[in-house]
Amino acid sequence: MFKKKIYIENAVRKLRFNSDEMTQQQLAELVGVSRQTVVAIEKYKYTPSLDLAFKIALAFDREIQEVFFINK
């Protein structure tokens, strides 16, 4: 069952807009990455490390599973 490939999606874009329309640059500066990395995460082209995922969740003051989830 766990050998099947999983697709991790996220609600970063939605949460960004809900947080006073935070820009990608602002989020990048908050979590200490480049704007390109935030763009790649939002487009599901890059899955962040656990460390960065927690930092993003903390930046939005949410639980990690509210930001990153598996598309079943």
Partner 1 sequence: MVYFTFKRIKLGLMNIKIRNTLGEITGASIAMIWMAYNLTEASKMTIESVSKVLAQGIGISIILIIALTIALNILSSIITGQYEEDIDDERDKIFELYALQVSSAIFGISLVITLVLLGWFNLTIISALIAITFSGFIASIVSLFLKVYLYR
- Smallest gap from Cβ 34 to partner 1, in A, equals 5
Closest to 18 measured CA to CA, from 62, 71, 63: 62
Q: Which is nearer to partner 1, 18 or 36 (CB)?
A: 36
- Smallest gap from Cβ 45 to partner 1, in A, equals 10
Per CB under 8 A, residues contacting partner 1 are 28, 32-34, 36-37, 40, 46, 48-49, 51-52
Q: Distance between the two ends of the chain, CA-based, in angstroms?
A: 12
Closest to 22 measured CA to CA, from 35, 10, 40, 9: 35
- Smallest gap from Cβ 68 to partner 1, in A, equals 15
